[in-house]
Structure 1
Amino acid sequence: MKKIDKKIIQMKKLDVLHCPKCGSTFTVEGKSLKCESGHSYDISKKGTVNFVLGYGEENYNMNMLEARERVIAYGFFNEIIKGVCEEIYAHYLASGKEGETLRILDAGCGDGSHIEMIGRYFTDKGIDTELIGVDLSKDGISIAGRKDNEVLYFVADLARLPFQEHTFDVIVNILSPVNYKDFRRVLKEDGFCVKVIPDSGYLKELRRLYGMPEYKNHEIVAHLREHAKVRSERKIRAIENVEAYADDLLLMTPMLWDREITDPGAKLTKITIDVELFTFGF
């Protein structure tokens, strides 16, 4: 079966999409999604859909995103994903929904690797999942669409998510922007979000190498507490050996673009992972 046909079957089965322009429901007609108001979106050969035709995120180019995919494959973000999965699993068990399918949205999924890894974690636990990844980067979703997995990937604006109300058990938001209003709309009433925010030591070796100040997350954390109800929080810290993929790490980090290294002779060997992980609802 072709990938597009497989993904169309999944879209029909999930039946959670709605038109981001008018909010009406979709039907699948051939290889397109059409809403009751006549808006139409083509389904690509990879089974992805672009819901933001005419605009989108162009800062994250294909080279950067492919470098990010390789860095993830090396395991750079493994401790973060492990922490995210553990939080989801703990809250899932506490919810009393054991045996039920877990529907997870990765909001800001990039190349799609993280939601794929999350899916594998829960498959290993014997828990059924329905997985969706969205990102504003069309190149990111193009890379995600190459993957042979059960995840549905869409180009979408986090402020206008193409989903019906109260659709998801979990929303994951890893090192990405957030829209609390639309997250609240598409999250089930008893659902929860898991957000990863950089802490002061995050990539400190890179920041030092490029003469950048220590990262401060106070405003982001204050904004989260203002708009959501925090259920739990934890810190994740690890030191990663990056000698094998230092060039890709530099290429995938937008904050370094157009900046010059303060010590041209320096060599990257180890990088600090330092983040805060918040689980919250509304």
Structure 2
Amino acid sequence: MRDEHAERYHVGMNPAKIARFRDSERYFICPLCHDALHLDGTSLRCANRHTFDIAKQGYVNLSPSAKQSQFYNKESFANRGHILDAGYYDHIMRAVLEAVDNHCPAPHNVDFAGLRDAQCPAVLDAGCGEGFYARAVQDAHPEADVLAFDISKDSIRQAAHEDMGMAVKWFVGNLADLPVHDGTIDCILDVFSPIHYDEFRRVMKDDAVVIKVVPGAHHDEQLRELARAQLRNADYSNEQTIEQFATHFTIVDSQLISQTFAMSDDDVRTFAHMTPLLFNVDIDALDLTQINELTIEARIIVARK
């Protein structure tokens, strides 16, 4: 029987925001007892009655005790959203979509309605931030089930709010204890995010892939040079990260994507306030007017379990 609070909550919510969670038992497990979660009204519930409400923006908090970093707040994600909307990361987004197309192709000649009830491919965006890549994958592959999470509730709230298609399954989650069933994911996106190898391997199907994106050596190099005196490591190398990744997965593809953009003073300042490179830097002490272009570079790595 639905409780009174849930009934009141249900009245004003767009049904599409709820419908995306209708097959929750296929993917989600309770973060408290690890039983399957089922959609019950406007909440996800397990057999032990642990309950997680769907927020009005269309996401579920499956890590209620999560603590987000002070650097990842509403202002930070608003700045990220501005930079992404301006197109500075579109070349990386296109490379990610190409990797999904090539290594986690969608089934062909299958009725979408039937697929939803049978074997739709599942893509998990781990550490999705404001949801830029998850939304792009869902738009390119409407037949897929896209699950996307971050430890930051602010980022997930923004991601769900901006999801006009209302199809991505957004949730607040803990990377070290994913509320996802074993062996259910076809493709994991890990874009500029940390990685938890054991959890990734646990939720992946045997033939699943990980698409990992790491900064290139020239990424943000203009800002890096400007802030050199304040940085502990002014010269960046991703070699150790890639070597560690290769000890856990079999790399099947790798490509470097790089583009240098002319950038306005306002966009340079916005970028400086959103990039993790400068989280521990006194930005006000930097003369950002010296920068009129910025290099955005990343290595896209595809690997199998």
What TM-score, normalized by structure 2, do the two folds share? 0.84
Counterpart for residue 296 of structure 2: 273
C-alpha deviation, 1:3, in angstroms: 5.0
Aligned to 1:73: 85
CA 1:188 to 1:235, structure 2 compared with 1: closer, same or farther past 3 Å? same
Contact 1:56–1:138 (8 Å) recurs in 2? no
Give secondary structure in 1 for the equivalent of 2:128.
Answer: coil
RMSD of aligned alpha carbons: 2.0
Q: CA deviation at 1:92?
A: 3.4
Change (3 A) 1:232 1:26: same
Picking from 154, 170, 187, the partner of 1:153 is 170
1:218 pairs with 2:233 = no
- The match for 1:122 among 137, 141, 155 is 141
Q: Residue 98 of structure 1 corresponds to which residue in structure 2?
A: 108
Tell me how far 1:256 sits from its aligned partner. Answer: 1.0
In the alignment, residue 28 of structure 1 is paired with which amino acid?
L
What one-letter code is carried by the residue in structure 2 that aligns with 1:186?
V
CA distance in 2, matches of 1:21, 1:112: 26
1:13 partnered with 2:23: yes
Q: Which stretch has the larger CA shift, 134-143 or 43-52?
A: 43-52
Task: Quote how far apart the aligned CAs of 1:158 are.
Answer: 1.3
Preserved CA contact (<8 Å) 1:246 1:269: yes
List, as ranges, runs of 4+ consecutive aligned residues in structure 1 with deviation greater than 6 Å. Answer: none
TM-score by length of 1: 0.90
Give structure 2 stretches of 5+ with no counterpart.
1-10, 111-119
The alpha carbon displacement at 1:162 in A equals 1.3
Distance of aligned partners of 1:99 and 1:89 in 2 relative to their CA distance in 1, 3 Å threshold: farther
Distance in 2 (CA, whole Å) between partners of 1:263 and 1:9 is 48
Evaluate the alpha carbon distance shift between residue 263 and residue 63 of structure 1 in structure 2; reply closer, same or farther with a 3 A threshold.
closer
Q: Which moved more, 1:131-140 or 1:16-25?
A: 16-25
- Partner secondary structure for residue 141 of structure 2: helix
AA aligned opposite 1:281: R
Within a 5 Å distance, the mapping from 1:199-238 to structure 2 comes to 199-211=216-228, 212=231, 213-238=234-259
Match of 2:274 in 1: 252
* Superposition deviation, residue 265 in structure 1: 6.3
Contact (CA 8 Å) 2:122, 2:186: kept in 1 or not?
yes
Pairwise CA distance, 1:99: 4.2
Structure 1 stretch displaced more, 201-210 or 32-41: 32-41
Q: What's the CA shift for 1:242?
A: 2.2
Residue 4 (structure 2) aligns with: none
Question: Size of the alignment, in residue pairs?
Answer: 276
The residue aligned with 1:170 is 187
C-alpha displacement at 1:30, in angstroms?
2.7
| CA displacement at 1:238 relative to structure 2 | 1.0
Give distance in 2, aligned partners of 1:143 and 1:206: 27
Compared CA separation, residues 169 and 42, structure 1 to 2 (3 A): same
In terms of Rg, which structure is larger? 2
The separation in 2 between residues aligned to 1:118 and 1:241, in whole angstroms, is 27
Q: Is the 8 A contact 1:135 1:155 kept in 2?
A: yes
Distance (whole Å) between structure 1 residues aligned to residue 48 and residue 207 of structure 2: 31
For residue 141 of structure 1, what is the amino acid of its counterpart? I
